[in-house]
């Protein structure tokens, strides 16, 4: 599985880019998103799926 890290300053669009890439993947594709803390992980999960 290829690994790609998105590294940039805060509020530069990393989360939006990640969501767009996850949406472009086939359904049920294995995806890992690493976030700095539980609060941001919870916010990422609440983002609309489509």
Q: Band of the pLDDT at 8, cuts 50, 70, 90? A: very high
Residue 35 has pLDDT above 90, yes or no: no
Which structure tokens are listed for 13? 């669009």
pTM of the model: 0.64
Residue 17 has pLDDT above 80, yes or no: yes
Decide if 2 contacts 31 (C-beta within 8 A): no
Q: Band of the pLDDT at 39, cuts 50, 70, 90? A: very high
Residue 48 has pLDDT above 80, yes or no: no
Which structure tokens are listed for 14? 């990393």
d(CA 1, CA 30): 9
d(CA 28, CA 43): 21
Determine the angle formed by the axes of helices 38-46 and 14-24, rounding to 10 degrees.
50
Mean pLDDT for 15-31 is 86
């Amino acid at each position: 599985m290829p690994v790609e890290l998105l590294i940039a300053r805060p509020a530069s669009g990393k989360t939006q880019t990640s969501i767009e890439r996850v949406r472009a993947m086939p359904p049920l594709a294995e995806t890992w998103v690493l976030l700095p803390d539980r609060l941001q992980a919870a916010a990422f999960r609440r983002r609309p799926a489509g």
